[in-house]
Amino acid sequence: MKFGKELTSQMVQEWQGAYMDYSHLKKLLKEIMRFRLQNAPQFSSRKGFLTRRLTMYRAFSGLTGRDNHVRSSSKENEDEVILVGPVQQEGSENYYQTTFLRSSEEGGGDEVVFFEKLDHELNKVLRFYKAKVEEVKVEAEELSKQMDALIALRIKVHKPYVEQKFAPAVKVGSSAPATDIASASGESREMDVIEEVETGSDGSSGDEQIRASKDKKDIKGFRPAPVEVLDHVKINVAPDTPISTLRNVIISSKSDLSFSKEELRKAEEKLGRAFVEFYQKLRLLKSYCFLNMLAFSKIMKKYDKITSRNASKSYLEMIDTSYLGSCDEVNKLIERLEATFIKHFTNGNRGRGMKSLRPRDKKERHLTTFFLGLFTGCSTALVAGIIVSIHARNLLNHEGRQQYMDNIFPLYSLFAYIFLHMLMYGANTYFWRRFQVNYPFIFGFKPGTEMGFREIFLLASGLSVLALAAVLSNLDMEMDPETKSFQTLTELVPLGLVTVLLLISICPFNILYRSSRFFLVRCAWRCICAPLYKVTFSDFFLADQLTSQVQAFRSLLFYICYYGWGDFRRRSNKCLQSNTYEILYIVVVIIPFWSRVLQCLRRLLEEKKPMQGLNGLKYFSTVVALVLRTIYDLRRQTFWRIMAATSSGVTTVYNTYWDIVIDWGLLQKNAKNRWLRDKLLISNKAVYFVAIVLNVLLRLVWMQLILGFEAPFLHRKAMVALVACLEILRRGIWNFFRLENEHFNNVESYRAFKTVPLPFYYEDEKIM
């Protein structure tokens, strides 16, 4: 792999604008090389260009590297190409500038431009790196203060018997003995405590055991951290649960310490997550430094190769002495953080500690691809079997067709909606990964647990096999003439399949991607309980997905009606004759939209952004339109038709504008890409205009149910299912461009890490 592609694949995508622009510098070098090739005869007479280097004829310095003292100062001056160094300006930071000494030569102007761009990139990288290092130093100090409070809380909760002379508290990564539990009297108790803290119960290294034995000798001088710090500390009650949300509304987001074990456990969990997130930031910052250093080295060596000069040595020496090459703060913080986390959060077990700190690499399994192919082939065979069965038995013209479409078709259409949505999401993950959209970070997936497109397609194909097999087994329209009913076992197949899917979704065992299943269930629960939970991106993104599954919710309601108080043995129901069913028929549709309204209200109160209020108004208008449209669907009266058409038209325009302009960030008149936006992932701009047109058309498709445009060759139930599928397709297209816009928002603000709430709040920041 070429270095340019390797750099693009390994960089932090949200920081891409802060990396050295390797591709542009490479283009400048190509211009220099093109000019020299066009003037090859002129340059070939000069020493070192397109000829064998004279260094092959210099005196041999020996394999042991003996010095060749025969050097000429005039020779060094002759080979000197550039002068580099820091330049100081009044009122601003130092910046590095390169002076090209051969600018008078023919073609030297291109090389001057190259070094100007190179200096610009170096200064950009230095400014960004220095700013980020200062940020992590401030965060490290804050974590140190949090550790002081945690250790003091441990002492207060565990109440060990300690001497009264207190020592200074331990800062993050200090090499002092752990100060969470200790005893100054009773040597056996002291030995047990130190052994517990300093050495892990499993996986401890020999060095750690030696260090622990040395600490035992100095146990008499051990003193715990001061507990007076707790007088200035309160517990942060993050509004991430219904109880904490109500408490914040009634009382405050800060509460006094209760010194309970449960409080200590929650504080340790929160601070542990903060340490893990901070560690990832340090590792990526270290990678940022390394990749940019390597990029400058690569581009300078290319310059030397193309121009046959020797400028890379002096330039790279200057980079080594700059803040980028000489600052060692990040490495020191990494070492201190590892030591602190292992000591205080994994009981000295280094293996377990490093496993928690370092993200797991996701491994691709060949078994996934194998079963994906197997299930896809089985699904294709089942579809062919269903088509053959329908034509062979002429079921399209059978007298039981109407009964089947009214009772059985709505049951199986549920699986079609779920399958299609999974298929679109799998395609989205494929294209997000291809265009390097950091969707695991945006959604908040735990590193190493996110599902790739192969896993999603595998689940979708598995569901299709089960659903199609059930359809084929239940594709029977002949009633038993004696009992005047269908086989009970066959009629219960759809209900059994739905039950199996629900049980798999909440299965507590570690099978079938448990982490992803629980993440989905947790987000769904937070959507149901809105606005009692703090709204995250994954929460409102899932709620948006549910708004496109209106017919799926109605299918679930039909399951309850059909098998609850319908006669499923005779394929008959009286659901539409029930007033209760009509009310629920409306309620289940507006639930996801109402959830989005409440989420927008919560964000409006927390973020104080008027756009959230307008977004909530958009969903509320959709709720009104859906209610009026459903009433018309049930009543079929002219008045309700006019009301439904009017409200639906208004909300369609509102939603379409919001999709394209706000969610996608397109139709910007003064953007670099006219009528799109400044930055685009897809180079072919026509894709965006096609997506805009499709979004508008698919938004208008469902209005045909109100306006009465129906296809005579399709049953009304089939038409409703087709419109629902088109809405799912529209949502899949929306998903890609919505996350693309969110990705560029993160890039613009260099937001590559999530904010982790800290457990403690210092009332007086000056006490530390």
Report which of residues 240 and 762 the model is more confident about: 762
- Could you give the CA distance from residue 269 to residue 248 in angstroms, rounded to a whole number? 21
- The angle at the Cα of 17, spanning 744 to 332, to the nearest 5 degrees, equals 110
pLDDT for position 90: 53
Alpha helices in 435-568 (DSSP H): 439-443, 453-473, 488-491, 493-505, 514-528, 537-547, 550-564
Ranges 65-74, 241-250, 366-375, 741-750: which has the least confidence? 65-74
pLDDT for position 264: 86
Give first-to-last CA distance, the chain, whole Å: 50
Report which of residues 581 and 48 the model is more confident about: 581
Is residue 240 pLDDT above 80, yes or no? Answer: no
pLDDT for position 60: 58
Residues 318-363: tens digit of each pLDDT: 999 999 988 899 999 999 999 999 999 998 899 999 988 887 777 7
Report, as an integer, the average pLDDT of 120-149: 92
pLDDT for position 502: 94
pLDDT for position 177: 38
pLDDT for position 27: 92
Is residue 278 pLDDT above 80, yes or no? Answer: yes
Are the C-beta atoms of residues 94 and 88 closer than 8 Å to each other? yes
Report which of residues 185 and 15 the model is more confident about: 15
In the structure encoding, which two tokens stand for residue 668, read together? 């910007």
Residue ranges covered by each domain of the chain = 366-748
Taking phi over 0 as left and psi of -120 to 50 as alpha, with beta for the rest, 448 belongs to left
Report which of residues 558 and 81 the model is more confident about: 558
In the structure encoding, which two tokens stand for residue 714, read together? 């399709």
Q: How confident is the model at residue 448 (pLDDT cuts 50, 70, 90)?
A: confident
Q: What percent of the chain has pLDDT over 70?
A: 80
Report, as an integer, the average pLDDT of 454-472: 95
pLDDT for position 125: 94
- Could you give the CA distance from residue 437 to residue 431 in angstroms, rounded to a whole number? 8
Residues 80-104: tens digit of each pLDDT: 778 888 877 655 567 788 888 877 7
Is residue 639 pLDDT above 70, yes or no? Answer: yes
Query: Rounded mean pLDDT of the chain?
Result: 82
SS3 (DSSP) at 206 = helix
Report, as an integer, the average pLDDT of 159-167: 52
pLDDT for position 287: 93
Q: How confident is the model at residue 248 (pLDDT cuts 50, 70, 90)?
A: low
Cβ of 463: how many Cβ atoms within 10 Å? 20
Ranges 118-132, 250-264, 420-434, 499-513: which has the least confidence? 250-264
- Could you give the CA distance from residue 22 to residue 527 in angstroms, rounded to a whole number? 44
pLDDT for position 44: 54
Is residue 678 pLDDT above 70, yes or no? Answer: yes
